[in-house]
Structure 1
Amino acid sequence: MTTTTYVLIPGFWLGAEVWRPVADALRRRGHLVHAVDLAGMGERAHLAAPDTDLTTHVDDVVDLIEQQDLHEVVLVGHSYGALVATGVADRMPDRVAHLVYIDSGPLPNGIAQADFEGPEARGANQDAVVTHGQGWQLPPPDWAALAAEVPEVDDAAVAALVEGSRPQPWLTATQPVALTGAWERLPRTGVLCSFSLEQLQQMAPHAPVFAHMIDGDWTYLELPTWHWPMVSRPAELAEALGSVAR
């Protein structure tokens, strides 16, 4: 079996540990897996600072790929991690073989993560940053409330999310994406969890933030669950990632 190199990038609030069941399953299949703690997250929580932004996190992953001398990488981004993955691929497309977006996708140039859900959501998050995040951090969500209607996520999984999450530096959400377009020549796979391909195809013509999820070299897999499939359905997510390598 051919060994594939995966780099797994988490979304907001979480570190490399959230990927452990998926990473372990891929390693058992003989693959090389690097799950990333971005600056301020996971075991690198002490590096959080008011100036930690999207560029900081792109630099983190670029540095990992260069220091480990990784090539032909399957670069996997979950949620906000999609912006990091796209930024990395745009900067070093010759090191990336395939992009995988977990319940997420690339944003158009000049758009920030904080803009994705619209001005009302951005305003609410900004208020939370000011009120509860010292003016520069977005507090983690109420994981128990989010998981309340997800049978696959038990109390132990919720406790692990609470333990493993850290406030998100707000500049990572407000710094707009800056891309040259070099990433666009790479093949990409979307793993859709909280919405279907049919819903995506219906939304894309009317919502510019979804435009990059229709145009280009895309394949799609559906894995119906909540937004964090590495917690709710890790075995199936590992199988989906393994299928990309095949």
Structure 2
Amino acid sequence: MATFVLVPGAWLGAWAWEDTARALRERGHTALPLTLTGLAEHADRGGPETDLDTHIADITGFVERNDLRDVTLVAHSYAAAPVTGAAGRLGDRLERVVYVDSAPFTVGMRMLDLMPPQSSDQLRRQVDASGDGWRLPMPPLEVLGLSSSLDGLDEGRRDALLTGATPQPFGTFTQRLDGPAEPGPDVDRVLVACHDFKGLLDAGVPMPAYLNQPPWRRFDLPTGHWPMLSAPAELARVLDKAVS
């Protein structure tokens, strides 16, 4: 059985993984959702100094404090950035890395690089206007839906997403990833592609095209960008299959 450390995307905490974690435990796995600094129940630990390095340290510290071995580290969305950094630092504690509707970062890359300049500028204005200069409130779902599929999120799940969301420390978006950022050659590499990301992969878009090739293993999941909310049991099934 596997040991999963489940890292949520932007604005989310461990709560978002609850149903998937429960389904994984029912299959006999150890499932450990993690809340990063400045978010959810750890919102009061965040500040203007909270950045990508903070979240990388959250992940590596969690694994090391709990003396976890043979870890399957799972990243959803934004978490690809700190998980990539942690994967390069965990050494032989790491057995597998799984990117859910996301892809590994390269050294020097930051979250804002994934957005057009006008979108980045808009986020900076939002942080200055309503985030005390360091927090990014979660955009309305109709805005998120322009770039990330909301498929599978009924009214109740959309309400849960909005109610549970907390502002994201903006330093995690602006800081560039520093090395090391590459897991060892024996670490298993897995991608779980939902609707939008599957389309990019199938189209051979340059950035994620290499994810279709070994050593990467790909699993498709027909749902939107938040599968731990829209299809938690199905996501657990895919993760179970990936480690079997």
Q: Structure 1: which amino acid aligns with 2:54?
A: T
Residue matched to 1:158: 158
Determine helix, strand or coil for the equivalent of 1:80.
helix
User: What does residue range 37-76 of structure 1 map to in structure 2 within 5 Å?
Assistant: 37-76=35-74
Structure 1 spans left out of the alignment, 5+ residues: none
User: What does residue range 29-108 of structure 1 map to in structure 2 within 5 Å?
Assistant: 29-108=27-106
What TM-score does the superposition give when structure 2 sets the normalisation length? 0.91
Residue 154 and residue 187 in structure 1: after superposition, are their counterparts in 2 closer, same or farther (change >3 A)?
same
Q: Structure 2: which amino acid aligns with 1:32?
A: T
Deviations 1:46-93 (A, max 9, x none): 111011001101111111111111000000000111111111110113
Q: Structure 1: which amino acid aligns with 2:194?
A: C
Residue matched to 1:243: 241
Q: Distance in 2 between matches of 1:196 and 1:55?
A: 26
Aligned pair count?
A: 241
Q: Structure 2: which amino acid aligns with 1:195?
A: D
Is the 1:53–1:172 contact (alpha carbons within 8 Å) kept by the matching residues of 2? yes
State the Cα distance separating 1:108 from its structure 2 match: 1.6
Residue matched to 2:191: 190
Residue matched to 1:130: 128
Residue matched to 1:202: 203
Q: Distance in 2 between matches of 1:109 and 1:197?
A: 24
Q: Distance in 2 between matches of 1:142 and 1:56?
A: 26
State the Cα distance separating 1:204 from its structure 2 match: 3.5
Is the 1:196–1:222 contact (alpha carbons within 8 Å) kept by the matching residues of 2? no
Q: Distance in 2 between matches of 1:171 and 1:203?
A: 31
Q: Structure 1: which amino acid aligns with 2:78?
A: Y
The range that moved more, 151-160 or 140-149, is 140-149
Residue 85 and residue 196 in structure 1: after superposition, are their counterparts in 2 closer, same or farther (change >3 A)?
closer
User: What does residue range 112-127 of structure 1 map to in structure 2 within 5 Å?
Assistant: 112-127=110-125
Q: Structure 1: which amino acid aligns with 2:133?
A: G
Deviations 1:192-245 (A, max 9, x none): 11325463253443x4xx366356510111112211011111111000110111
State the Cα distance separating 1:146 from its structure 2 match: 5.0
State the Cα distance separating 1:143 from its structure 2 match: 3.2
Residue matched to 1:12: 10
Residue 182 and residue 147 in structure 1: after superposition, are their counterparts in 2 closer, same or farther (change >3 A)?
closer
Residue 198 and residue 145 in structure 1: after superposition, are their counterparts in 2 closer, same or farther (change >3 A)?
closer
Q: Structure 2: which amino acid aligns with 1:63?
A: G
Determine helix, strand or coil for the equivalent of 1:177.
coil
Q: Structure 2: which amino acid aligns with 1:179?
A: G
Is the 1:105–1:212 contact (alpha carbons within 8 Å) kept by the matching residues of 2? no
State the Cα distance separating 1:155 from its structure 2 match: 2.2
What TM-score does the superposition give when structure 1 sets the normalisation length? 0.90
Determine helix, strand or coil for the equivalent of 2:10.
coil
State the Cα distance separating 1:157 from its structure 2 match: 1.4
Pairwise CA RMSD of aligned residues?
Answer: 2.1
Is the 1:108–1:212 contact (alpha carbons within 8 Å) kept by the matching residues of 2? no
Residue 160 and residue 110 in structure 1: after superposition, are their counterparts in 2 closer, same or farther (change >3 A)?
same
Q: Distance in 1 between matches of 2:204 and 2:115?
A: 13
Q: Distance in 2 between matches of 1:129 and 1:166?
A: 13
